[in-house]
Structure 1
């Protein structure tokens, strides 16, 4: 229960052009009463017999996608019908995830108990072997979005020759059936937008014409990126019928300030740009954050498009609409939530990325696996050498999966009211390092990488993860080419810097910790354990 069978099943049926049926809904339709009422009046045994009858009938039908109840496998005859008459997909979810999804659902009679976690553990122990017995495919759900799960199922069905291709359908992640580009949608209602991932997108005139709306475009870039990619983008946009002007800002995190922001406004006003002007951010996270903030404020809001050219910005900062500038007293404390019209991640730009910049981006890739998807974390460990060698397939998978994870979190919590804060794993320590050393001394991703090692150490000291898990995180951060020892800022200075953090409440420092790998918690911690963690992680 709570693994997403109905939601995923409905989406899969639509993709396969089949009829969707939920066995629980069918039972309710036949009896005219709800499942909880059947349980209450007749008991579980009677309900299971009704369920077996429905599954016998439904599995004899053609061209359907059937979502069964979680306990359907308890009946041996049902297991036989399911396995022999269809292709069975087991959506496997962790108990913590199921608790999160079902905590407000009053229609689950088996969870009407004083200890739902214990009940779920009992059910898992009883049912998991039966699920594995009957299943043709096992799909780990983690916490990705529905599109990703459906695409994973389709890919596996085709790969294992369980279906003969998908005539008349297009891959969910692709813009066109013949296009190598991956396209993921950030689902925010009217503010939804696509993330396109592919090679040589900056020179694809037709593609840019479809993504950059309006005739007037202001490109914002910096002194490092401009010599590499500005001319190509200007030429492509002009070929697409756009009127283009550009502003080139000084490079560096230390330039993410009010003075640099004013240079964007100067260019907009000097060129008499109106509300239909589209701002295009061509660069890394600093350029993206400042361009987005300028777009949110100019004439109270004009459209903008993110074209991130670093791995860090492609997997993290370009997605989600967080914009802003730094203040001497705090990082990213001045800004706005403002979503782009599109994100264009051209992986060709990563070939010119210096090794330390690539490593900085890998910190955010590691973060996504650590907080959400332990299977992805395993993949990162196994493929780190390919990622550092800039292998296109490895980079594309890392970017796509990272964007899927972040997009799903943003969909659920656009303005960081709760869940989205878990994306700051390692950032409380990392921001302190950046502020304490001075912006620009360490790259943001380097500080986050070291911050994740410190957060893992703190998680271990609190008993949330074991020594092996802590060591895995440190080793994968080190394998990415990132620092694992923090600078000695002095204990008082460490505390002072961490107190200036957007997550803090009531004067208490809040940390994102692992409990366990693949699941994050937001919590305050005892001061002495925090100081012990800092002492154990600093370079002596």
Structure 2
């Protein structure tokens, strides 16, 4: 509803030299009554049956571009006709965008309520899973103009049909948006584009994610991301010798002046004193609000540089340039920034979105094997909580991922970023849905804190935490034994620990009580009910204790 289906559909039909049909207009032509009048006289159920009859008839026709009503997917038969008889394009729009376009439209019977926003949010919850079920392509309507939307659709249609592309006319280059629940699974033979472009759709705070090889050397791409004349690179003692000079050269070629901040490496260094070191350099160099902070490194650098950017002069631009698999698939996307405290991980921070994320996959060539495995934990997490076909794909391709097959890694990064970007779009500040991204993290953060930051890598702790969360899910009757065992086996194949350290039951509980997801003093867990469906819940202590005992027992 209000996503621009009719406008975009007409423009697309002209480009493809096809006939345009709007199912709502067809219903009105058949009945001689307007949609609002049909709703008023016959009710929604009768309208939906009329709509289903029209969809059945129209999907039998060739040579048309069909714009359906927003609720057409509510009918199971219509979903099947749409999915099997044509190419389904989901024009996805945020609630804010739809509200702006439809808030005063009296021809929208479903929005004639006291609280249209609430109604739109309810409709989104009801309908979006169905859109994902049927969609072959997803296009974000937060584009500057209709022509760019149409060009994006044409490019994706060409890609689906194996063509090399169409002339772009005068439309600007565009980026396709993620389809959260219905990915085209990536078989071993699937080709992955050399450069992948995604968007995190947050209205005015939206930003691009670019994934590809040798992006550190892409002068045009770096120049587009760094708007101001000055750039401050924050990196660490491990990454600096590898990539700092390359990035500085690219920035200088783009006409930017560059300063640098090199911090010690390690999770234990995500601390207040090192945050002060960033401020010291920025102040010493008299950096202003037009200075862009660049985070060159893994999750620790991204978190610290982002927090510094959020708080220096009350906010300056920053760009994420992640160099580890974990940061490329997870921590660089979504705007979470923080430092650690002795009593809890990531407890001091801010939500602050970057201007762009630039993931140069060639940096993974120098990544130690242990760090690669740590990153795979977050890849597995995305499949386990939301996308079972992706989980299946990871199982089938874990060997290729461990061997650093470029195509497999590119697809894993792309799909993970798509999933996280969609979750962040719906819940930027973790008021509800976004908490599902913490699957395995309640246990994992306790492991990191209990052993001391840096003893286990974050991804190692999360991997083991997922095994524990799967065990607890099974213990509570949410997850079958086979799925529990699949999670554990995949974590093990990724080179991650599956046996948790024995911290002692009281210490485990103490550490888990210091968690951002907790409410009213109760520990909240992200569990699976079943695989691919996350559940945020509290649990009986006896079940939790049983999981702690079993998962800390050596095999």
- State the TM-score bracket (shorter-chain normalisation): 0.7 to 0.9
Separation in 2, partners of 1:489, 1:271:
45
Question: How many angstroms does 1:270 deviate by?
Answer: 1.0
**Cα distance in 1 between the residues matched to 2:533 and 2:152:** 21
The alpha-carbon deviation at position 315 of structure 1 amounts to: 0.6
CA separation in 2, counterparts of 1:355 and 1:8? 47
- Counterparts of 1:368 and 1:12 in 2: how far apart (Å)? 33
Q: Which residue does the alignment assign to 1:410?
A: 424
Q: Work out the CA distance in 1 between the residues paired with 2:232 and 2:275.
A: 14
Q: Conserved in 1, the CA contact under 8 Å of 2:440 and 2:469? A: yes
Take 1:307 and 1:160, find their aligned partners in 2: how far apart are those partners?
Answer: 30
Aligned counterpart for 1:388 among listed residues 380, 402, 425: 402
Name the CA distance, whole Å, in 2 between partners of 1:406 and 1:450. Answer: 21
| Equivalent-residue separation in structure 2 for 1:143 and 1:420 (angstroms) | 25
Equivalent of residue 447 in structure 1, options 461, 465, 475: 461
- Choose the corresponding residue for 1:303, options 294, 314, 317: 317
Structure 2: unaligned runs, 5 residues or longer: 91-107, 112-129, 142-149, 178-192
The answer to whether the 8 Å contact 1:310/1:349 transfers is: yes
| Deviation of the 1:185 alpha carbon | 0.8
Asked if 1:250 is matched to 2:264, the reply is: yes
How far, CA to CA, are the matches of 2:509 and 2:391 in structure 1?
30
1:437 to 451, 461, 470: 451
Change (3 A) 1:509 1:15: farther
The match for 1:87 is 86
Relative distance call for 1:63 and 1:515 in structure 2 (3 A) is: same
Alpha-carbon offset, residue 36 of structure 1:
4.2
Q: Which residue of 2 aligns with 1:214?
A: 228
Equivalent in the alignment of 2:145: none
Which SS does the other structure have where 2:273 is aligned? Answer: helix
Q: Is the 8 A contact 1:293 1:323 kept in 2?
A: yes
Q: Are 1:275 and 2:289 an aligned pair?
A: yes
Q: Measure, in 2, the Cα distance between the counterparts of 1:527 and 1:142.
A: 42
Q: Using a 3 Å threshold, how does the CA distance of structure 1 residues 38 and 494 change in structure 2: closer, same or farther?
A: same
Residue by residue over 1:259-306, the C-alpha shift from the partner in whole angstroms, topping out at 9 and shown as x without a partner, is: 010110111111111111111110000000000101111111111111
Matched, 1:535 2:549: yes
Which residue pairs with 2:203 in the alignment?
189
Question: Shift of the alpha carbon at 1:216?
Answer: 0.8
Match of 2:34 in 1: 32
Q: 1:52 offset after TM fit, Å?
A: 3.3
Deviation at residue 239 of structure 1 after TM alignment: 1.3
Matched, 1:497 2:497: no
In structure 1, the partner of 2:68 is 67
* Contact 1:52-1:72 within 8 A present in 2 as well: no
Structure 2 CA distance for partners of 1:527 and 1:192, relative to 1, 3 Å: same
Task: Confirm or deny: 8 A CA contact 2:83 2:135 kept in the other structure.
Answer: no
TM-score, normalised via structure 1 length: 0.80
Following the alignment from structure 1 to structure 2, what is the Cα–Cα distance between the partners of residues 156 and 189?
23
User: Relative to structure 1, is the Cα distance of residues 273 and 364 closer, same or farther in structure 2, using a 3 angstrom cutoff?
Assistant: same
Aligned residues of 1:151 and 1:173 also touching (Cα < 8 A): no
- Structure-2 separation of matches of 1:472 and 1:313: 25
The SS at the match of 1:280 is strand
**SS of match in other structure, 2:321:** strand
Tell me which of 185, 200, 219 is aligned to 2:214: 200
Between the aligned partners of 1:10 and 1:515, the Cα distance in structure 2 is 40
How many Å apart are 1:23 and its aligned residue?
2.2
* Alpha carbons 2:89, 2:138 under 8 Å: kept: no
Instruction: Quote how far apart the aligned CAs of 1:37 are.
Output: 4.0
After TM superposition, give the deviation of residue 205 of structure 1 in Å: 1.6
Equivalent residue number for residue 188 of structure 2: none
Q: What CA distance in whole angstroms lies between the structure 1 residues aligned with 2:49 and 2:6?
A: 21
Task: Please give the secondary structure, in 1, of the residue aligned with 2:518.
Answer: coil
Deviation at residue 376 of structure 1 after TM alignment:
0.7
SS at match of 1:292: helix
Q: Partners of 1:252 and 1:71 in 2: how far apart?
A: 50
Aligned-residue CA RMSD in angstroms? 3.7
CA distance in 1: counterparts of 2:364 and 2:306, whole angstroms: 22
CA distance in 2, matches of 1:203, 1:83: 42
Distance 1:143 1:437 in 2: 46
Residues 275 and 165 from structure 1, CA distance in 2 versus in 1: closer, same or farther, beyond 3 angstroms?
closer
Residues 217 and 381 (structure 1), Cα distance of their counterparts in 2 relative to 1, 3 Å cut: same
Q: How big is the shift at 1:88? A: 5.8
- The alpha-carbon deviation at position 164 of structure 1 amounts to 6.7
Offset at 1:247? 1.1
Partner of 2:23: 23
Measured against aligned partners, the alpha-carbon deviations of 1:356-390 in whole angstroms (never above 9, x if no partner) come to 10000000000011111111111111111111111
Contact 2:23/2:51 (<8 A) preserved: no
Q: Deviations over 1:439-476 (max 9, x none)?
A: 00000000000000000001111111100000110011
Shift of 1:180: 2.9
CA distance in 2, matches of 1:402, 1:462: 28
Residue deviations 1:288-327 (CA, integer Å, cap 9, x gap): 0000101111111111111000000011111011001000
Q: Which moved more, 1:516-525 or 1:28-37?
A: 28-37
Please, what TM-score do these two structures have when normalized by structure 2? 0.78
- For residue 477 of structure 1, what is the aligned residue in structure 2? 491
Residue by residue, what CA displacement relative to the aligned partner does 1:472-519 show, whole Å, maximum 9, x if unpaired? 100111111000000000000000000000000000000001111111
SS in 2 for 1:272: coil
Q: Is the 8 A contact 2:89 2:139 kept in 1?
A: no
Counterpart of 1:135 in structure 2 is none
- Are 2:53 and 1:52 equivalent residues in the alignment? yes
Q: Quote how far apart the aligned CAs of 1:27 are.
A: 2.2
**Map of 1:400 onto structure 2:** 414
Partner of 2:478: 464
| Partner SS for 2:293 | strand
**Mapped partners of 1:344, 1:24: distance in 2:** 42
Gaps of 5+ in 1: 92-104, 109-130, 132-137
Task: Give the drift of 1:24.
Answer: 4.4
Question: Which residue does 1:167 correspond to in 2?
Answer: 166
When the two structures are aligned, how many residues end up with a matched partner? 484
Q: Give yes or no for contact 2:88–2:134 (8 Å, CA) kept in 1.
A: no
Q: Deviations over 1:144-176 (max 9, x none)?
A: 96559x999989965775x977534677449xx
Find the partner of 1:328 among 326, 329, 342. Answer: 342
